Amino acid sequence: MLGRGIVSSGLHRVFLRGSAVIVAFHRVNDALNDSLTTSSRSFEAFCRFFQANFDVICLDDLVQRLTAGESIQNAVAITFDDGYIDNFEVAAPILRKLALPATFFVATSFLGSTTIPWWDRELSERPSWMTWDHVRTLSKEGFDIGAHTRTHVDLGAVDGAEAVAEIVGSREDLREQLGKAPEHFAFPYGQPSNLSESNRQRVRDAGFKSCVSCFGALTEPRTDPFHLPRVAIAPWLRSPEQFVFDIVARAG
């Protein structure tokens, strides 16, 4: 109720004080019910809510505005991690219908594979990955494709040649398959301990324009593009209005 009142009065713009929000999804799937999965109905509700109450822009536009010192007030950028097939089959059609931009961060070695990561091993139904053809189609349609390493490695735990192979290698995989290098990078697991400063520098040196996490905070006007936070959209957020209450509390 409080979130609904904040939005209906337009007070969220005041509370956010010129900040933007980058949101992170993983799966959009009606057959699963876990912390990484959003239902198609909930995903569309969030998208319509963002469209009605925020300025929905692509991550690249947000980074360009930050770099140029331009206003990012009331902006929302939609992102996805990992590269699940439902991103193509379920999420993308909803985004197309609403004409909303999004960035899909993919772990390049997972694409077209039968890999079952440790966090999916206990699921009743094991989700599949997109293929390179799916990713190429998304790119051709104007969606942004970002790098998420090759094998979803913890960049807080590896260093040296292994880290370079994951960071630079994922960028080169995307360049080879899409005909252009990705501009943005999301580090796996996304918590502060999952990216060392030496590996953050490797992301810069590889030629990326930004690096995003997956722990909740707002993007403020002076945020370093290589320290971009995201707010994960997960089942414990029962409604878009609760999302607004949550981000206003973060801004508080």
Domains of the chain: 2-251 (3.20.20.370)
Residues 68, 60: Cα–Cα separation, whole Å: 12
With b for 16 or more beta-carbon neighbours within 10 A and e for fewer, the 126-155 pattern comes to: ebbbbebebbeebbeeebbbbbbbbbbbbb
* Per-residue model confidence (pLDDT) at position 158: 98
With vertex at residue 60, the alpha carbon angle to CA 58 and CA 66, rounded to the nearest 5 degrees, is 110
pLDDT tens column, 138-170: 999 999 999 999 999 999 999 999 999 999 999
With vertex at residue 244, the alpha carbon angle to CA 241 and CA 246, rounded to the nearest 5 degrees, is 110
Q: How confident is the model at residue 240 (pLDDT cuts 50, 70, 90)?
A: confident
Residues 83, 110: Cα–Cα separation, whole Å: 8
* Per-residue model confidence (pLDDT) at position 137: 98
| 3-class SS shares of the chain: helix, strand, coil, % to 5 | 45, 15, 40
* Per-residue model confidence (pLDDT) at position 3: 47
Residues 172, 197: Cα–Cα separation, whole Å: 22
Determine contact, residues 99/45, Cβ cutoff 8 Å.
no
* Per-residue model confidence (pLDDT) at position 17: 73
Q: Where are the alpha helices (DSSP H) in 99-237?
A: 132-140, 160-178, 197-206
Nearest of 104, 56, 58 to residue 81 by alpha carbon: 104
Q: How confident is the model at residue 239 (pLDDT cuts 50, 70, 90)?
A: confident
